[in-house]
Amino acid sequence: MEQTDLRPATRTEVRPVTARQRMARAARNGGEPTLDFAERVPYDAYVQASTLHRLQQPLSGDPGEMSFLMVSQIMELYFGLTCHELRETSRLLRADRVWEALAPLRRAALHLEGLNAAWRGLRWMTPADFNRFRNLLGEGSGFQSAMYRHLEFLLGLRDPALIRPFRRQTEVYAELTDALATPSVWDEVVALLARYGHDLPTELLERDVATEHETHPAVEAAWVQIYADTGPDNHLRLLGEALTEVAEQFGDWRHHHIKAVQRTMGAKVGSGGSAGLAWLQRSMARVVFPELWSARTAM
């Protein structure tokens, strides 16, 4: 998915300064922070904090709904941030820059760790707490998060049917369609292994990337061979461990999601029309980066 570059629009408000200018300002202020600005406060111009804090529009007067709404928005931001890192990972892997790809992968794992921590902000919620405003959400469901769908597609979890809810949001639908047609991180990894000399069949390398990758013994054998080399220069092994951390953190998020649903609504029907808890439990069977896990049996 192409991202809009917002930097030109903010240049007139966020003005770069040099180290010398900072030192001069500190000297004029006697070490105290600057309190007077001719225009908008620079922090707000950069972070857009005043905009962020106007995005919460609860549907009820229940004070607990703000937690539910804001934690959901925080998770959306983490979805987008993790997608950003995974796209950068894919770009570097396509260029065979394995060592450089480790940095965005490790950042992605840390962002997923932050995403997991966000669930703690909802641990207070009982069924009675949720029921006070749940009906006002109508058919709204986290299942309908377009950015979460982007995250799944990047991780290799692909079901073309899941973009159907967005057909009438033409821009979002087009972005998701493009994402389905773009190789996932795992597709890029498999192609990388072939370029590094591992024997992978042509039909695997030329498959339709819009469909979900199925575990293949040749990919599993490649990882067994990679992990057999424990030398410090084995960047593929380091890549495998970074990918494993991402997959594990994402799996933890799905597990926390199930526990949150159990805590707040048990096995009730989901707001978006699904079977709720049962649907989420079935989705857990779809494994991210599957051969990294299955290969461990043969190591």
Binding site residue list for substrate: 134
Tell me the pLDDT tens digit for each residue of 274-291.
Answer: 656 776 777 777 899 999
Tell me the pLDDT tens digit for each residue of 151-174.
Answer: 999 999 999 998 999 999 999 999
CB 70 within 8 A of CB 56: yes
User: Residue ranges per domain, the chain?
Assistant: 7-51, 64-298
CB 104 within 8 A of CB 81: no
Q: How far apart are CA 268 and CA 112, in angstroms?
A: 27
Q: How far apart are CA 113 and CA 151, in angstroms?
A: 15
Binding site residue list for heme: 257
Tell me the pLDDT tens digit for each residue of 228-252.
Answer: 999 989 999 999 999 999 999 999 9
Eight-state DSSP code of residue 123: T
Low-confidence winner among 87-101, 145-159, 257-271 (lowest mean pLDDT): 257-271
Binding site residue list: 134, 257
Fold of 64-298: Methane Monooxygenase Hydroxylase; Chain G, domain 1 (1.20.58)
Q: How far apart are CA 81 and CA 147, in angstroms?
A: 10
Q: Rounded to the nearest 5°, which phi and psi values hold at 112?
A: -65, -35
Six-digit token string for 251: 């799996």
Q: How far apart are CA 176 and CA 162, in angstroms?
A: 10
pLDDT (0 to 100) of residue 272: 61
Q: How far apart are CA 193 and CA 8, in angstroms?
A: 39
